[in-house]
Amino acid sequence: MKRHGMLNSHISKVLTDLGHTDLIVIADAGLPIPDHVQRIDLALTLGTPSFKAVVDAVTDDMVVEKVIVASEMNDKNPDTMQYMNERFSTTEIRHVSHEQFKQLMNKAKAVIRTGEVTPYANCMLQAGVIF
């Protein structure tokens, strides 16, 4: 058994397979996921696991070059936007419309679905490199 890092085997495999600029999405419970994109469903109950807990766990094990969020997060979910700004204080955060976000999801390697039920609690993480 692994001692550190991501224990979820599906997420660990996705992270291991990521190349530079590949995308993964961490999504709230309601975000529609394209049929052709791998879904890793962690949702247990409303709010569990939280968006923030999953972002923390994934990004502790991933090099993130850029983050993409829906611009609606600024007004509709300012607490989560503040968390994102703090968590990614040295990383570019790109804002796109929610509709553009959903279109970009077609390029994602996987979507990790959380139990989060606050509005627009979704982010796309672009993989960086360790060198």
Give the catalytic positions in this structure: 20
Of the CA atoms within 13 Å of residue 18, those in its CB half-sphere come to: 28
Q: Residues marked as binding for substrate?
A: 28, 98, 120-122
Q: Residues marked as binding?
A: 28, 98, 120-122
- Which two tokens mark 103? 């279109």
The number of beta carbons lying within 10 Å of the beta carbon of residue 85 is: 13
Cβ–Cβ < 8 Å for 101, 93: no
